[in-house]
């Protein structure tokens, strides 16, 4: 027997939870399938910007205070530093703080709220294939579910995306960054860290980070792979320059990060892609949490509206994506090539001059109060 649902959401992380909660609250039957059992490990810096905090409240009713009470927000800071290996290039105070979270706990909490909203959530269920025409979703153990619509929220290695005939996977891979991140006890780090720090200038297109996260730090690098970049070796050099004793590193892991690979047409037949599956990550700083939540919500709202009116949801999802999300990603993409080129030509000092020219508006741009498109005031539609 094949079970039928209005929508099947493949992937129960941020993008999937945002889509599913939106549909479940409108009384639609939703099945969420995730191959992992939650809480599951998740490699991420966990940094939330102003727009993300607003969206989490809008979608899930979670605020910085409730997230802090649950131990999900681990650290709050309105300070930042941008450094090269030899000097501090820019630092200062922002108009709104960054909230640094535990992604394992955040994802677990949101999926719990999805379940509470009435969605069917099945963990430990791996999708191996789907058919966007018939709405069939095939699991590893041979079972098949059918949805009128399929939402692909299954991350950077998306299986749903593999069923889209027109997606150029080679082009997507070219603009997918490699990342490595480790967790270090704050006491084992050579200096106290009271703010998020970015390290630039040692990768053609990428950067490193040191983020405070409660009693430990998250230390990582991300960058587009060039043929001659040995990423693990580069990470060892990075740790060495930071003065980290290799003996304190217990687990070192990597994960792909969409970094300029966002799709303009993530709809095929009755399926659509959201979050990392569609490459929706801001291509300068690698912010993906907000874009996963926002594209998930748009897809959920488009499907709910389509089911109500008997119309196809794809055009509505594309309309909102093109109006609100893609201008940001395109603007950030242009800015990153400008900055990375300037750094190559004039050294890291170019960044120092650029940031110090307009630190306030640039900080507001990162938070989403202003747009990556000419720093205009940004209006979000939620
Ligand atoms: C090292 C690193 C640091 C980062 N730091 C930040 C940061 O500080 N701030 C920020 O905003 N963004 C950051 N990002 C980006 C952010 O983590 C992602 O953009 C975000 O997690 C995307 O969410 P998602 O729901 O689209 O996908 P994911 O979070 O990747 O979730 C995909 C889900 O799908 C499931 N799945 C996958 N395949 C299948 C399958 N075949 N069947 C069933 N289930 C499946 C997985 O188990 C997973 O739960 C970082 C990313 C990396 C790699």
Looking at ligand 1, which residue's alpha carbon is closest to its atom 50? 44
Residue 195 has pLDDT above 90, yes or no: yes
Q: What is the pLDDT of residue 219?
A: 98
Distance 155 CA to ligand 1 centre (A): 5
Residue 204 has pLDDT above 90, yes or no: no
Looking at ligand 1, which residue's alpha carbon is closest to its atom 30? 155
Q: Which of 38-47, 102-111, 343-352 has the lowest mean pLDDT?
A: 343-352
Query: Sorting pLDDT into bands at 50, 70 and 90, what band is 344?
Result: confident
Span 232-247, average pLDDT: 96
Residue 184 has pLDDT above 80, yes or no: yes
**H-only helix segments in 84-163:** 103-116
Looking at ligand 1, which residue's alpha carbon is closest to its atom 51? 44
Token pair for 135: 């709405």
Query: Sorting pLDDT into bands at 50, 70 and 90, what band is 349?
Result: confident
Query: Sorting pLDDT into bands at 50, 70 and 90, what band is 354?
Result: confident
Give the integer Cα–Cα distance in Å for 89 and 84.
7
Give 292-314 as a DSSP string: HHHHHHHHHHHHHHHHHHTS-SH
Rounded to whole angstroms, what are the CA distances from 223 to 56, 66, 198, 230, 250? 28, 34, 13, 11, 23
Q: Which residues pair with 182 in a beta bridge?
A: 219
CATH of 3-52+102-171+259-337, one of 3.50.50.60, 1.10.730.10, 3.10.20.30, 2.40.50.100: 3.50.50.60
Query: Sorting pLDDT into bands at 50, 70 and 90, what band is 71?
Result: very high
Please report, rounded to a whole number, the percentage of residues in the chain having pLDDT higher than 70.
100
Span 178-207, average pLDDT: 95
Residue 137 has what DSSP assignment? E
Distance 276 CA to ligand 1 centre (A): 6
Q: What is the pLDDT of residue 348?
A: 84
Determine if ligand 1 sits within 6 Å of the CB of residue 289. yes
Mutate to test the pocket of ligand 1, among 44, 51, 145, 219 (most ligand atoms within 8 A of CB): 44
Angle of CA points 374, 378, 382, to nearest 5°: 155
Q: Pick from 280, 273, 230, 274: which is nearest to 258 by CA?
A: 280
Residue 328 CA to its chain's centroid (Å): 14
Residue 110 has pLDDT above 90, yes or no: yes
Under 8 Å CB-to-CB from 338, ≥6 apart: which residues? Answer: none
Please report, rounded to a whole number, the percentage of residues in the chain having pLDDT higher than 90.
89
pLDDT per position as a tens digit, 85-95: 999 999 999 99
Distance 359 CA to ligand 1 centre (A): 29
Give the integer Cα–Cα distance in Å for 107 and 63.
15
Determine if ligand 1 sits within 6 Å of the CB of residue 255. yes
Q: Is the pTM of this model over 0.95?
A: yes
Instruction: Yes or no: say if 270 and 149 are a contact pair by the CB < 8 Å rule.
Output: yes
In the chain, where the domains are located? 3-52+102-171+259-337
Looking at ligand 1, which residue's alpha carbon is closest to its atom 8? 45
CA 255 to ligand 1: nearest atom: 53
Peptide bond before 39: cis, by omega within 30 degrees of 0? Answer: yes
How many alpha carbons fall within 13 Å on the CB side of residue 281? Answer: 25
Determine if ligand 1 sits within 6 Å of the CB of residue 20. no
A 10 A CB-CB count for 324 gives 18
Residue 229 has pLDDT above 80, yes or no: no
Determine if ligand 1 sits within 6 Å of the CB of residue 36. yes
CA 14 to ligand 1: nearest atom: 25
Q: What is the pLDDT of residue 352?
A: 87
Query: Sorting pLDDT into bands at 50, 70 and 90, what band is 245?
Result: very high
Determine if ligand 1 sits within 6 Å of the CB of residue 13. yes
Residue 2 has pLDDT above 90, yes or no: no
Determine if ligand 1 sits within 6 Å of the CB of residue 15. yes
Under 8 Å CB-to-CB from 57, ≥6 apart: which residues? Answer: 63
Residue 228 has pLDDT above 80, yes or no: no
249-252 long-range contacts (CB < 8 A, ≥24 apart) are 249/182, 249/184, 251/182, 251/183, 252/180, 252/182
Under 8 Å CB-to-CB from 274, ≥6 apart: which residues? Answer: 15, 16, 18, 19, 151, 152, 153, 266, 280, 292, 295, 296, 298, 299
Chain mean pLDDT for the chain: 96
Q: Which of 18-22, 124-128, 169-173, 194-198 has the lowest mean pLDDT?
A: 169-173
Q: Which of 212-216, 246-250, 313-317 has the lowest mean pLDDT?
A: 246-250
Determine if ligand 1 sits within 6 Å of the CB of residue 276. yes
């Amino acid at each position: 027997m094949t079970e039928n649902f209005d929508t099947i959401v493949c992937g129960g992380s941020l993008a999937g939870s945002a889509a599913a909660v939106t549909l479940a609250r409108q009384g639609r039957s939703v099945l969420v399938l995730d191959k992992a059992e939650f809480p599951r490990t998740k490699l991420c810096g966990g940094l939330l910007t102003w727009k993300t905090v607003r969206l989490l409240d809008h979608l899930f009713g979670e605020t910085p205070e409730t997230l802090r009470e649950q131990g999900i927000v681990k650290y709050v800071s309105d300070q930042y530093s941008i450094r090269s290996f030899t000097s501090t290039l820019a630092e200062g105070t922002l108009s709104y703080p960054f909230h640094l979270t535990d992604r394992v706990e955040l994802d677990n909490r949101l999926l719990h709220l999805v379940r509470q909203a009435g969605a069917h959530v099945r963990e430990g269920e791996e999708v191996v294939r789907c058919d966007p025409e018939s709405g069939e979703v095939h699991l590893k153990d041979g079972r098949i579910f059918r949805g009128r619509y399929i939402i692909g929220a299954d991350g950077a290695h998306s299986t749903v995306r593999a069923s889209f005939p027109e997606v150029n996977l080679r082009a997507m891979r070219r603009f997918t960054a490699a990342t490595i991140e480790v967790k270090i006890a704050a006491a084992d780090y050579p200096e106290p860290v009271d703010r998020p720090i970015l390290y630039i200038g040692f990768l053609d297109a990428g950067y490193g980070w040191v983020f405070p996260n409660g009693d430990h730090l998250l230390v990582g690098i991300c960058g587009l792979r060039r043929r001659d970049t040995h990423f693990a070796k580069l990470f060892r050099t990075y740790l060495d320059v930071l003065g980290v004793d290799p003996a304190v590193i217990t687990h070192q892991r990597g994960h792909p990060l969409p970094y300029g690979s966002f799709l303009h047409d993530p709809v095929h037949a009755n399926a659509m892609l959201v979050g990392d599956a569609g490459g929706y990550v801001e291509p300068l700083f690698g912010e993906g949490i907000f874009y996963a939540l926002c594209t998930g919500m748009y897809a959920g709202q488009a499907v709910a509206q389509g089911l109500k009116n008997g119309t196809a949801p794809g055009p509505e999802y594309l309309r909102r994506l093109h109006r609100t999300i893609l201008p940001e990603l395109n603007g950030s993409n242009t800015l990153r090539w400008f900055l990375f080129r300037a750094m190559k030509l004039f050294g890291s000092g170019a960044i120092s001059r650029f940031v110090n020219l307009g630190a306030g508006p640039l900080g507001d741009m990162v938070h989403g109060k202003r747009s990556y498109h000419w720093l205009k005031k940004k209006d979000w539609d939620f």
